[in-house]
Amino acid sequence: MRPAAFEYHRAASIEEALSLLAEFGEDGRPIAGGQSLVPMMNLRLARPEHLVDINSLELDKIERTGDTLSLGALVRHERYFNEPLIAEHFPAFLDAAHWIGHPTIRRHGSLGGSISHADPSAELPCVCVLHDATIVARSVNGERRIPASEFFISAYVTALEPGEMVVAVELPIPQRKQHGAFIEIAERMGDFAVIGIGAVLELDGDTVLDARIACAGAELTPVRAASAEQFLKGRQLTEEVAQEAGQLFAQSVDPVNDYRSSAEYRRHLIVQLTSRTLMRAMKSKA
Amino acid sequence: MKAENPRQIGARVQRFEDVRLLSGVARYIDDIRLPNCLHLTFARSQMAHGRILDVDTSALEDIGYPTWVFTGKDIGDLSMKAHQDVPEMQYSEQPLLARDVVRFVGEPVAAVLAEDPYLSEDAAEMVFIDCDPLPVVGTMDQARDPSIPPIHDGWKSNVFIERQMKGGDLEAARANAAYVVRRTFRNQRQTGVPMECRGVVAQYSPGDRMLTVWSSTQMPHLVRTYISEELDLPESRIRVIAPEVGGGFGVKGQVFGEEVLVAWLAMKTQRPVKWIEDRRENLIASIHARDHAHTLEAYVSKEGRLLGLWADISVDVGAYSTFPFTAAGDPGMAAKVMPGPYDFQAYEATFRALASNKCPLGTYRGVARPSAVFSQERLMDEIAKEIGMDPIEFRLKNIIREFPYKNVLGFTYDPGSYAESLEKIREILADDIAAARETRHSKEKRIGVGLACFIEQTAHGTPDFTRRRVPIETGYIAARVEMQPDGTVVIGLGLQSHGQGLETTMAQVAADALGIDPKDVFVRHGDTLTSPYSVGTWGSRGGPLGGGAVHLASLKIADKLKAIAAHQLQSNKDQISLGGGKAYITDDPSRYIPIRTLARQALRNVENLPEGMIPGLEAEYSLDGPRDGTYSNAVHAAVVEIDVPTGKLKLKRFVVVEDCGTIINPLVVDGQVRGGVVQGIGSALFEHMIYDEQCQPLTTSFADYLMPLAPELPNIEVHHIETPTPLNPIGAKGLGEGGAIGPAPAIANAVSDALGVEVNETPLTLNAIWRLSAHIRGEAS
């Protein structure tokens, strides 16, 4: 459980980091908190020949520009809890943050790291898909802006090219007040979710004007609930309607089946948690 | 007037060793740093069962730094042998490095040494093991299938051993039964997971022909004996030291091939050799545990009296028999303890150890009793349900109340508090039982209460091991107590303390006998050079046998101190008492001599000793276990809350009522119980060593092998009843393992109570609970 040999480089600027990553191509990896990469290296499941340490780069800002909230790739998870703009505009994001790992992981782990690692059951990729985030990636060739829906390609596979790294995540600030929630089920607190569901609602009283629902842990990437979202529009949200939305969502996904959880159980959880998350989002209105 | 001597036995003394353990100055195996040391990494089998065609190490020739590599061809016939001396046993022998066949994933195949642990790990990766796959034995059904060839040459089947135990007239019990209740139970494969993995460092010093082996072990003397026999070295020229051991739980309670091999490598290379096990190795290739399947059939009278019990016990013990408890250890123990705390006199058990292409099974806290009690106590609830009786009432109706009690297999139980514990827990749980009843028809949230009542044979010694005919052979614990000229005391203890708090509890015992402060007693352990020969710490024996030995050795010194004091005070030694650091006339404490003065006289100013007395204050005592051991008892109770729609279980409450006889230190007892309960909760809910059909282990890191963490745990309430045993000099029974025995059956009974279904398997994961509650959701299960 010791990593294979690698060279360590500490980048002093984004330009230097990008130029190092360009030089190393597939053999280089940026490292920030190392919460996923270091264990994988110790197990020799990842064997980068070069690590580019980006911890000293100025990528840790949270700022609003017009209708966009931009979070730097180096924002550590524990900061989500103290950010009024997240609390005000992205309650589902805030709710999800409570489910991320343990305090140590939240202190060291970074937004860019979690997104780039793309674990199928992680909270933040799901939140990005839920909020229609844009992933900002840079390389020596310039900047690419990738919609979250196109960023996550498969388990641990993203749209990032060799030499490219995530520098920020942009969340569109909604025009109207939104209500949101995130609930997950895991064997133990802090484990990766068996199923996690995030929901965002725009409401007029109890009537749904707009809904977005996303799920972590069901498939190899986070999935949105197009049919359930459509179904909810214009409906009064009741327990029964929420259950029905859950059923619609569950029918539209093809959950993985592994030694820990059956596909059948995951499908069942999607129904239950979708319903609960919708009701929790609505109740957060009060 | 009488002097006030506060008793140390029973006092809440803060553990002396904690200062070192909690301040970061304790030295563990990896802290042993020797100059010129070579670091060992094993190339381990990635195939579960295969014939070795070639172990190709040629890539190491061009690696660019010095390496030393050894394979099965280089080590002669060095191996691990662990035979139970009975005719039914089929023997297995595990070469220290696999020679012709690999039999489980993780089996050591090549030893690769380099001057840095990173380099040896890189080099070990380049050893290419070419194997021809052989059919795997991965399930109990496969192990019993005669069409699948045995995994060991010359074997007739994949059954290590199959035997029977019986007592009384089971035919009569069957004939007289109004109810026959038969159930099958299954406990999963687990491992013990000490926080510190294993590790061995060895150094041979040719000058004094001394081999020193540091190992993270619970049994340094046995490691020494095995190395001596296998490497043909005199025991007097081998010193085995267990440094600080970061948890053992039974995992480190066997002698391992790695320990012998590292010693051999140090002699072969004439350099110190160090091997530090990593977590992956620890999970897949140290020792596994549990993996039991039991079918029980109980015969019950119309009035609800147990008449007899029939049992069929299978345990998947993996690829090899382990030293010193052998492949027969778990199944034999399960069969032996199955009668439990209940009064019936007809029993018959068939028990077998099945071989498979999995990591060998060894001892882990509780050893078979967590599984035996699971089956026993689940069955008690099932019978109660079938005959329409309250489960506590049914137990009380059958519980043993009169002692000594000779059980159906001829084991004699010393006095305990079986019925009182049940009564007490019923009182504690009254509100929970009522609350559970109110959720009986809920489709959302169910509450359940379950309990497990059990006894644990502890402090067993030589007679028990002789009956078992296993290579442990003996069971006494020795203590050597030496008072120094300044009146402080050094104890050389044959036990090894790896979390039990023995440096404190043994000091308390000695302090009472010697009338001194326990802070003045220094307990040395874990080093064969400074401790008398003993078999180590395991089996819930340390408190009673170690404590008893320390007590009796200390009394010998106390007797001498009294004789010296009587001589000086012109009294009779029967008139002298020891206490508060003084030897005083019992009826006139104003006449005294400080014990430190007496010690100085015994060791330095010896001219003051009574005529003819030999100088010195040193005594040794070896205490063996009573014929059948002593029986601790406990009731564990769990209150669970289940969210039916998701299967999420919350442990609301966990209560223990336990009786381990005399309590030496309540803080230590509570800590032992709570630690054991946490491991038992792991067995009940989370921990599962999973293999696929090709016998590849799937749960090879802590991301997959799940142990309970703080958020999953309730406050564990511990209540004590103290019934000192007449079979032990200080009245103590063992308690180290009991905490781990009760949780799985208590929690399973609570889940069964909540959901109204049979719960016959562990672990009770999210998926499992969800499946068990299908009927509540109106689905077919």
Does B4 score more than 80 pLDDT?
Answer: no
Does A134 score more than 60 pLDDT?
Answer: yes
**B235 and chain A in contact, CB less than 8 A:** no
Q: Above pLDDT 90, what percent of chain A? A: 98
**Are residues B377 and B515 located together in one domain of the fold?**
no
**Are residues B292 and B264 located together in one domain of the fold?**
no
Arithmetic mean of pLDDT, A123-150: 98
Q: Letter for the amino acid at B372?
A: A
Arithmetic mean of pLDDT, A192-216: 97
Q: Computed from CA positions of residues A264, A265, A270, A271, in that sequence, does the dihedral angle turn out positive or negative?
A: positive
Average pLDDT, chain B: 97
CA distance A285 to A207: 12
> How many other C-beta atoms can be found within 10 angstroms of the C-beta atom of residue A15?
12
The pLDDT confidence band at residue B2, using thresholds 50, 70 and 90, is low
Pick the last residue of a domain from B623, B651, B667. B623
Do residues B365 and B681 lie in contact, with contact meaning Cβ atoms separated by under 8 Å? no
Q: Is residue B6 part of a domain?
A: no
**Are residues B347 and B311 located together in one domain of the fold?**
yes
Structure tokens at A261: 């959880």
CA distance A267 to A218: 8
B701–A39: do the CB atoms touch at under 8 Å? yes
CATH assignment of the domain containing B386: 3.30.365.10
Pick the last residue of a domain from B224, B253, B276. B276
CA distance B375 to B187: 9
Q: How far is A226 from chain B (nearest CA, A)?
A: 24
Q: What is the ipTM of this complex?
A: 0.96
**Are residues B335 and B378 located together in one domain of the fold?**
yes
pLDDT in tens, B264-293: 999 999 999 999 999 999 999 999 999 999
**Are residues B654 and B761 located together in one domain of the fold?**
yes
Do residues B113 and B265 lie in contact, with contact meaning Cβ atoms separated by under 8 Å? yes
CATH fold for the domain made of A7-53: 3.30.43
Residues of A in contact with B708 (CB under 8 A): 188
Residues of A in contact with B284 (CB under 8 A): none
**Are residues B511 and B656 located together in one domain of the fold?**
no
- Interface A–B counts its CB contacts (< 8 A) at 56
B121–A2: do the CB atoms touch at under 8 Å? yes
Q: How far is B598 from chain A (nearest CA, A)?
A: 56
Arithmetic mean of pLDDT, B650-673: 98
**Are residues B421 and B445 located together in one domain of the fold?**
yes
Q: Letter for the amino acid at B573?
A: K
Residues of A in contact with B646 (CB under 8 A): 185, 269, 272-273
pLDDT in tens, B428-486: 999 999 999 999 999 999 999 999 999 999 999 999 888 888 898 899 999 999 999 99
Arithmetic mean of pLDDT, A120-135: 98
pLDDT in tens, B62-112: 999 999 999 999 999 999 999 988 888 999 999 999 999 999 999 999 999
**Are residues B619 and B632 located together in one domain of the fold?**
no
What is residue B1's predicted lDDT score, i.e. its pLDDT? Answer: 47
**Are residues B263 and B345 located together in one domain of the fold?**
no
Sequence-separated (6 or more) residues with CB below 8 Å from residue B100:
B51, B52, B72
Q: Where are the domains of chain A?
A: 7-53, 62-172, 179-283
pLDDT in tens, B326-344: 999 999 999 999 999 999 9
Arithmetic mean of pLDDT, A32-55: 96
Specify the CATH number for A62-172; select among 3.40.47.10, 2.10.109.10, 3.40.50.150, 3.30.465.10.
3.30.465.10
The pLDDT confidence band at residue B670, using thresholds 50, 70 and 90, is very high
Give the CATH superfamily of A179-283.
CO dehydrogenase flavoprotein, C-terminal domain (3.30.390.50)
Arithmetic mean of pLDDT, B626-637: 97
Closest partner CB to A187 (pick from B645, B686, B701): B686
**Burial profile B542-570: b = 16 or more Cβ within 10 angstroms, e = fewer:** bbbbbbbbbbbbbbbbbebbbbbbbbebe
**A194 and chain B in contact, CB less than 8 A:** yes
Same fold, A62-172 and A179-283: no
Q: Is residue B156 part of a domain?
A: no
Do residues B537 and B697 lie in contact, with contact meaning Cβ atoms separated by under 8 Å? no
| Distance spanning both ends of chain B, measured CA to CA | 75
Residues of B in contact with A39 (CB under 8 A): 701, 703
**A193 and chain B in contact, CB less than 8 A:** no
Instruction: Classify strands B108-114 and B93-95 as parallel, antiparallel or unpaired.
Output: unpaired
What is residue A286's predicted lDDT score, i.e. its pLDDT? Answer: 62
> How many other C-beta atoms can be found within 10 angstroms of the C-beta atom of residue B717?
13
Question: A183, A257, A265: which to substitute to probe chain B, counting the most B Cβ within 10 Å?
Answer: A265
**Are residues B219 and B252 located together in one domain of the fold?**
yes
Arithmetic mean of pLDDT, B54-68: 97
Arithmetic mean of pLDDT, B756-776: 97
Q: Is residue B39 part of a domain?
A: yes
What is residue A247's predicted lDDT score, i.e. its pLDDT? Answer: 98
The full DSSP string for B388-449 is: T--HHHHHHHHB--SSSEE-TTSPEEPP--HHHHHHHHHHHHHHHHHHHHHTTT-SSEEEEE
What is residue B315's predicted lDDT score, i.e. its pLDDT? Answer: 98
pLDDT in tens, B175-184: 999 999 999 9
CATH assignment of the domain containing B271: 3.90.1170.50
Closest partner CB to A269 (pick from B646, B690, B701): B646
- Write out the residue range of the structural domain in which residue B534 sits: 18-25+476-623
How many residues would you count in chain B? Answer: 781
Arithmetic mean of pLDDT, B189-214: 97
What is residue A160's predicted lDDT score, i.e. its pLDDT? Answer: 98
**Are residues B602 and B636 located together in one domain of the fold?**
no
What is residue B6's predicted lDDT score, i.e. its pLDDT? Answer: 75
Number of folded domains in chain B? 3
Q: How far is B762 from chain A (nearest CA, A)?
A: 14
The Cα angle at residue A31 between residues A27 and A34, in degrees rounded to 5? 120
Q: Is residue B184 part of a domain?
A: no
Do residues B711 and B342 lie in contact, with contact meaning Cβ atoms separated by under 8 Å? no
**Are residues B407 and B551 located together in one domain of the fold?**
no
| Distance spanning both ends of chain A, measured CA to CA | 50
CA distance B671 to B12: 12
> How many other C-beta atoms can be found within 10 angstroms of the C-beta atom of residue B587?
11
Q: How far is A270 from chain B (nearest CA, A)?
A: 10
Sheet with B582-585: list strands edge to edge: B576-579, B582-585, B588-594
Sequence-separated (6 or more) residues with CB below 8 Å from residue B644:
B442, B443, B444, B445, B446, B773, B776, B777
**B646 and chain A in contact, CB less than 8 A:** yes
